[in-house]
Structure 1
Amino acid sequence: MAKQSNRDGKAPTQRMLRVGEQFRRILSEVLQRGDVHDDDLARMSITVGEVRMTPDLRIATAFVLPLGGQGKEDALAALRRNKHEIRHLVVKGGSMKFAPELRFELDGTFDQMDATRALLSDDHVRQDLED
């Protein structure tokens, strides 16, 4: 997993990481169970790779990707359309004192891994690595 940082460039605190992971786990469960009342979301299997919290814990940005990477924009639109209900379900399922604003972004981790894998399989790069 890539090192995340705050907007000011500092590494996240342990509290931010702990709350973000708790939020990610509950959000994944909510989406997996199909608790959200949306037919589009019910047809999708969505992976939540990471949730980043702001230092004040008021904004949670979830990095998501539909299984297989197909229909990314449709999944993102459905999640954004239902963010208020999802936010309520996640907070209800956890022990948070307040509900952070929920934002969704596409998770580019898998694309980065594919690009790295392709780069490492290039003959010129392999030759340099073997030397």
Structure 2
Amino acid sequence: MAKNKFHDGPGPSQRQLRVGELIRRTLSEVLMRGDIHDPDLNRLSVTVGEVRTSPDLKIATAYVLPLGGQGKDVLIGLLARNKHELRRIIGKKLELKYAPDLRFRLDETFDQMDETRRLFAQDTVRKDIGE
């Protein structure tokens, strides 16, 4: 079977997807309620778009974006500074055997969607796809 050049493997398992979604919901709730002992982080409204886990579930990468898109670098720094407390809360709430190591990345899907819309709006592209 030929390997698809866009994927490195079979993709995430159902368990990875389920645990990632549970972590995403828990992170969203914790950040929304301001359960972290950091007033700087509690002042921000954060969107947690997706959480991807490693196959062994020991690493969870959360893709986040501040509301309005302002202060992206500050947000990543604040989350990294509080990752131990967030990890403890997630481990406690989800009752996982191992609380995953948390990593935070900017969610760039909104920027990609804007670029896609811009491309589709070009006259040459509209002609090619035959309005």
TM-score by length of 2: 0.90
**Matched residue type, 1:49:** G
Hey, what's the Cα distance between the residues in 1 that align with 2:54 and 2:17? 10
- Look up the match of 1:109: 109
- Look up the match of 2:24: 24
1:89 CA displacement = 1.2
- Look up the match of 2:73: 73
- Look up the match of 1:11: 11
Matches within 5 A, 1:1-131: 8-130=8-130
TM-score by length of 1: 0.90
Q: CA-to-partner distance for each residue in 1:5-57, whole Å, 9 max, x for gaps? A: 6xx53310001001111111111100110001112111100100110010001
Hey, what's the Cα distance between the residues in 2 that align with 1:93 and 1:80? 20
Q: How many residues align?
A: 126
Query: Equivalent pairs: percent with the same residue?
Result: 62
Q: Secondary structure at the match of 1:64?
A: strand
Structure 1 segments, 4+ long, off by >2 Å, are none
Q: CA-to-partner distance for each residue in 1:31-89, whole Å, 9 max, x for gaps? A: 11000111211110010011001000110010101011110000000000100001111
**Matched residue type, 2:36:** V
TM-align CA RMSD: 1.5
